Amino acid sequence: MDAAAWDARYAASAQVWSAEPNVFVAQACTDLPPGRAADVACGEGRNAAWLAERGWSVTALDFSAVAVEKTRALAERRGLADRVAARVDDATRWQAEAPLDLVVLCYLQLAAPARGEAVRRAFSALAPGGTLLVVAHDSSNLAEGTGGPQDPAVLYRAEDVLADLDPTAYDVVRAGRVARTVGASSGGPAADPHRGEPERTAWDCLVQLRRPAPPAG
């Protein structure tokens, strides 16, 4: 889907996704000390707002202008406008204004090589000691899970994300496939197609990397 298609999707309903943060973003970031963050492909701003509530200064990026306006509105409603700077930008072209302590790529479903460009750009924005967190629909979800894109070209595995980067440049905190429960009580998309059905399992890939600090001295 291009930016115009996403604009139409976001404009079609008051809320496409859950207002709660992604479960894996919350798990991975709860104990990180707040600093400067970027939420790339921020959607309606749920993760950006959650981070800002925990003291982060967040730049929220999306190529959908409608999504960016929804992110701004959410930040204003929650009294976070001074901590969330939302702007229209492309995940494969954006540049951080200063080194970041955290970059989140959550369900940015791009085919290679665009995915690789987005991952490399995100990692290069990190300050020493910074964290890159990638959460995406896993390639195995198409056959083994539920929901998510049905185009295998935009699905990927943790190994694909790791291969997008120089293996000597990062420390792996976590990388692999993770299960996510979806259903009537899942806290998933507001227009959840599984709502009212028995709970099901979706498979995501999760990659959490740390950019090492240079050796002392």
Q: What SS3 state is found at 3?
A: helix
Distances 96 to 38, 90, 141, 217 between C-alpha atoms, Å: 8, 12, 32, 27
Give pTM, 2 decimals. 0.91
Joined together, the tokens standing for residue 10 give 């976001």
Domain boundaries, given as residue ranges, for the chain: 3-11+18-210
* Measured distance CA(47)–CA(103) in Å, rounded: 11
CATH superfamily of 3-11+18-210: Vaccinia Virus protein VP39 (3.40.50.150)
Each residue's pLDDT expressed in tens, for the chain with a length of 217 residues: 788 988 898 888 778 877 899 999 999 999 999 999 999 999 999 999 999 999 999 999 999 999 999 999 999 999 999 999 999 999 999 999 999 999 999 999 999 999 999 999 999 999 999 999 999 999 999 999 999 999 999 999 999 999 999 999 999 999 999 999 997 544 444 434 434 457 899 999 999 999 998 777 6
Provide the CA 101 distance to its chain's centre, in angstroms.
15
| 140-165 b/e (C-beta count within 10 Å ≥ 16 → b) | ebeeebbbbeeeeebbbbbebbbebb
